[in-house]
Structure 1
Amino acid sequence: MMNRTASEPLHILILGGGPAGSACGLALLKLAAQMERAVKVTLLESKQFAGEQHYNQCVGVLSTPLPDLMERELLVPFPTDLTRALITGYTLHGDREELPLEGDDEPSVALRRVQYDGYMLESATKRGVEVLPARATNLEFHEDGVIVYTDSAPVEGDVLVGAFGMDEGSAAFFSRQAKYEPPQALSSVVTKYHPGTEAMDAFGKHIHAFLPKHPRIEFGGITPKGDHLTINIAGRNVDAPLMSDFLKQPVVRDALPNFEMARQYDADDLCYFKGRFPCSLARNYYGDRFVMIGDAAGLVRSFKGKGVTAAVQTGIRAAETILSVGFSRAAFHDHYRSANEDLIGDMSYGQAMRSVVILMARSGMLDAVIRAARKEPRLRRALFGAVSGHESYRTVWEDSLAPASLTAILGAFLRRTS
């Protein structure tokens, strides 16, 4: 199959040009240069990021340690010029209570994800990654290599990196050929509107987070992004009517300035976009001559947040494994999986936190927790870590179960029932 000579460079194929795929390509070329090893990196991506011809359903809030990770590990500066707004904290909403939350880290950056994705892909191209504007249609694994069939010409390589996110078509042919099982997923619906300059200034620099009682909505958010507010909801099966219902809730409407003027500033206001994101680890996400990274592997925080950071981290770790250890199933199991233990080991804590938060929201207990957090700094820190993604869920649990936190929560419940 593979008509290669021993002197030819190792050829790595990357399927997907989002942050995970671009980061992997950049890391491969950086590490290969350090090792004085010849490699060829080919990335397949059918989307055109230039000109912003498609909409990315990610809200687009990026935070530490991503800027340092990009500059240190990829030698690519963080694109501060793409900043739409700085996020300094969160405001958590219950039914009747709300709580501002701020941490000690640098402000997060709100930007348009399609612009960030385009920047990363352009950086990879400038570094030497070959980008093919083609869509993969099937693949084959052989003892001596991999073939990826596309809507143009087939591409052959030594190892394949799956960076296709939640794309169901790519997942389907990986499932057929490699017994890959994609991660479980939540649906999301995203929209936006322009409330006007004065209203945006008054809104401030906080993301407003909501945990509704509705059985199909796990969380919702309002994010300031320069001249507009982005609104998102997520759950097992959220849809457009559910977004419309969410926007009608009094606690949500109270947080939306000049909402009645939507579409007067911009005719495209309140268009809905739907997406999916993983909430569990994929199965068989690596094997002989292939490895998944980012969302495709399910290597993300269980309760959302830090998706781009995890994508970049896993792309770097896959590159290190391929060039330093190899690309057999054993190499990925021994090195790549263990390198991601920070993500994998935190998943059970995140899933437990997700279940508890949903229970609190559905049972009306969230207001009592918010009242308790006003008085107890460690509980307040736990809530900030949970909504911001700035702390591991293990740390969030430690803060939540601290004696002072539990005492404050118990006191709030007793006052509620008395």
Structure 2
Amino acid sequence: MEPLQDGQTAVIIGGGPGGTACGIALRNLARQMGRNIRIILYDGKAFVGETHYNQCVGVLSPPIDSVLERIGVPFPRHLVQREVKAYILHGERRHIRLTEAGEVSYATRRVQFDAYMLEQAREHGVEIRESRVTDLEFLPDRVNIYAEGSRCQAAVVFGAFGLDPGTTTLLAQSTPYRPPQFLTSLVTKIHPPPDIMPTFGGNIHAFLPRNPRIEFGAITPKGNHVTVNLAGAQVDSRDMDAFLEYPPVRRILHFADREHPLNPAQDFIYYRGRFPISVAKHFYGDRYVCVGDAAGLVRAFKGKGVTSACQTAVWAAETAMRVGVSRHAFHTHYRAACRNILGDLPYGRAMRRLAIWGSRLGLVDTLIALAEEDAHLRHALFNSVSAHRPYREIVAEVTAPPELARLLYRFLRSGLGRHLTSPVSGVK
């Protein structure tokens, strides 16, 4: 199966950043190579006013600027609601502000960012069809794509549909693809009084509660509101209720009153989503390839979600245009391009399990106390929560023999037994 040729069609399923970046990259490469490739993007979402809500928090991590620049898309600074310059990690009783000079992340409204990318795809010549794909038929020489009110044939299908249950099922029925394991996330927004909003600054508040149902939670300031999100294997609305009453959260959101919200039409409305915690099985094959969340190619704790989606989309497009659309082509070139993400996943899983273990045992306060006195540990914590560096580099730095010995000595001196046995008020 040779690279995409003149007169062929490529279909992208999903209109998020991964799908639009893929379409733009394909169009750019086709023009450079002098090939007339028809690119069709199916997107079932509607961007009309505020009717669509994306379950992603909307923090764009570096190097998103350079990733967009690579495909000729200006970074939309007009959509940035806040620059994220620090992360505040909260325990039950302590907290620590983690910050470093250098690159910053950007808090945006994901619905606006997605709409911007979709418009960029249109301007680059990608054909947008606002309908859902209802069936897929893989044949040796083509793929038949059935959608609401239309049908088309393609030489290759790019899966940029995240963890949408319907589309993952469609692809799994037609190919060996199996979607990633995932955590459930809940997201809501709260509008603080105007005089309180500036006090949030450029800080994201991160929490590792002792509640076994919640893996982590966060409060992210935007333009005139804050976004609250949490994640766990089986979290539901009751867990969000409990998280909002969790004492460390209440200390930040002391103004929040669900009985008298500042914006009743938007505040305390919960949205449910998913994000992957493993790599999808067979995320590429003959005439199909998945990118971003659909492939499970994201950092643990969902860091760099948008950035990873765009990066993997560009690599998939380059493989299809330059190498081929067979499983072998994607295996030898696309998978190789993703090697840094894939290689970092075991370290991310280990860090995730360590975070769960520490939070369940009530050791977050101990960790914060150690970090207050240890610059290396503060550096590692910042890079863990900010997604600015790979986990394997963080692990290598923390487990270097001199640093590890110093941390273990301080950890034991801190009174480990007392922290393990003393009662701590978690999220009930």
Between the aligned partners of 2:5 and 2:219, the Cα distance in structure 1 is: 55
Note closer, same or farther for the CA distance 1:395–1:8 as it changes in structure 2 (3 Å cut): closer
Q: Which residue does 2:100 correspond to in 1?
A: 103
2:350 to 344, 349, 352: 352
Between the aligned partners of 1:347 and 1:7, the Cα distance in structure 2 is: 35
Q: Secondary structure at the match of 1:198?
A: coil
1:400 Cα deviation from its structure 2 partner = 2.1
1:234 to 231, 236, 259: 231
Paired residues, what number? 412
Between the aligned partners of 1:408 and 1:37, the Cα distance in structure 2 is: 58
Pairing 1:220–2:217 present: yes
1:405 Cα deviation from its structure 2 partner = 5.0
Between the aligned partners of 2:82 and 2:254, the Cα distance in structure 1 is: 17
Tell me the alpha carbon deviations over residues 187-229 of structure 1, each in whole angstroms, 9 at most, x when there is no partner.
Answer: 0011111111211111221100000011010000001101111
Code of the aligned partner of 1:296: A
CA contact (8 A) 1:193 1:262 kept: no
Q: Which residue does 2:78 correspond to in 1?
A: 81
Between the aligned partners of 2:172 and 2:261, the Cα distance in structure 1 is: 47
Pairing 1:407–2:368 present: no
Q: Secondary structure at the match of 2:136?
A: strand
Tell me the alpha carbon deviations over residues 16-56 of structure 1, each in whole angstroms, 9 at most, x when there is no partner.
Answer: 11000000000011111112222110001121124232100
Q: Which residue does 2:205 correspond to in 1?
A: 208
Q: Secondary structure at the match of 2:204?
A: strand
- 1:52-131 residue pairs with structure 2 within 5 A? 52-71=50-69, 73-131=70-128
Bigger mean CA offset, 160-169 vs 393-402: 393-402
Between the aligned partners of 2:89 and 2:391, the Cα distance in structure 1 is: 18
Code of the aligned partner of 1:416: G
Code of the aligned partner of 2:168: A
1:386 Cα deviation from its structure 2 partner = 0.8
Q: Secondary structure at the match of 2:300?
A: coil
Q: Secondary structure at the match of 2:235?
A: coil
CA contact (8 A) 1:400 1:406 kept: no
Between the aligned partners of 1:329 and 1:263, the Cα distance in structure 2 is: 56
Between the aligned partners of 1:238 and 1:399, the Cα distance in structure 2 is: 33
Q: Secondary structure at the match of 1:379?
A: helix
Q: Which residue does 2:341 correspond to in 1?
A: 343
Between the aligned partners of 1:35 and 1:409, the Cα distance in structure 2 is: 57
Q: Which residue does 1:39 correspond to in 2?
A: 37
Between the aligned partners of 1:153 and 1:396, the Cα distance in structure 2 is: 49
Between the aligned partners of 2:415 and 2:6, the Cα distance in structure 1 is: 72
Bigger mean CA offset, 207-216 vs 149-158: 149-158
2:156 to 150, 156, 159: 159
1:161 Cα deviation from its structure 2 partner = 0.5
Between the aligned partners of 2:212 and 2:247, the Cα distance in structure 1 is: 17
Between the aligned partners of 2:261 and 2:5, the Cα distance in structure 1 is: 63
Bigger mean CA offset, 60-69 vs 336-345: 60-69
Between the aligned partners of 1:159 and 1:328, the Cα distance in structure 2 is: 9
- 1:254-265 residue pairs with structure 2 within 5 A? 254-260=251-257, 263-265=260-262
1:63 Cα deviation from its structure 2 partner = 2.3
Tell me the alpha carbon deviations over residues 106-152 of structure 1, each in whole angstroms, 9 at most, x when there is no partner.
Answer: 32111110100010011001110001111111110111111011121
1:317 Cα deviation from its structure 2 partner = 0.3
Bigger mean CA offset, 17-26 vs 193-202: 193-202
Between the aligned partners of 1:204 and 1:159, the Cα distance in structure 2 is: 46
1:409 Cα deviation from its structure 2 partner = 4.6
Between the aligned partners of 2:6 and 2:393, the Cα distance in structure 1 is: 48
Between the aligned partners of 1:266 and 1:415, the Cα distance in structure 2 is: 45
Q: Which residue does 1:296 correspond to in 2?
A: 294
Tell me the alpha carbon deviations over residues 234-254 of structure 1, each in whole angstroms, 9 at most, x when there is no partner.
Answer: 010111000001111111100
Task: Give the TM-score normalised by the residue count of structure 1.
Answer: 0.96
CA contact (8 A) 1:379 1:399 kept: no
**Structure 1 unaligned blocks of 5 or more:** 1-5
Q: Which residue does 1:398 correspond to in 2?
A: 396
Q: Which residue does 1:361 correspond to in 2?
A: 359
Code of the aligned partner of 1:360: G
CA contact (8 A) 2:11 2:157 kept: yes
Q: Which residue does 1:372 correspond to in 2?
A: 370
Note closer, same or farther for the CA distance 1:21–1:69 as it changes in structure 2 (3 Å cut): same
Q: Which residue does 2:187 correspond to in 1?
A: 190
Tell me the alpha carbon deviations over residues 359-394 of structure 1, each in whole angstroms, 9 at most, x when there is no partner.
Answer: 011011221111111111111111011111111000
CA contact (8 A) 1:325 1:331 kept: yes
Between the aligned partners of 1:389 and 1:7, the Cα distance in structure 2 is: 38
Between the aligned partners of 1:409 and 1:256, the Cα distance in structure 2 is: 35
Q: Which residue does 1:3 correspond to in 2?
A: none
Q: Which residue does 2:384 correspond to in 1?
A: 386
Code of the aligned partner of 2:159: G
Between the aligned partners of 2:165 and 2:409, the Cα distance in structure 1 is: 45
Between the aligned partners of 2:112 and 2:404, the Cα distance in structure 1 is: 41
Q: Which residue does 1:30 correspond to in 2?
A: 28
- 1:278-357 residue pairs with structure 2 within 5 A? 278-357=276-355
Between the aligned partners of 1:258 and 1:292, the Cα distance in structure 2 is: 43
Pairing 1:175–2:178 present: no
1:8 Cα deviation from its structure 2 partner = 5.3
Code of the aligned partner of 2:272: K
1:416 Cα deviation from its structure 2 partner = 2.2
1:263 Cα deviation from its structure 2 partner = 4.3
Tell me the alpha carbon deviations over residues 144-176 of structure 1, each in whole angstroms, 9 at most, x when there is no partner.
Answer: 111011121111111110111111111111111
CA contact (8 A) 2:17 2:306 kept: yes
Code of the aligned partner of 1:241: R
Between the aligned partners of 2:275 and 2:294, the Cα distance in structure 1 is: 9
Tell me the alpha carbon deviations over residues 245-281 of structure 1, each in whole angstroms, 9 at most, x when there is no partner.
Answer: 1111111100114123774421121111110011110
Bigger mean CA offset, 343-352 vs 263-272: 263-272
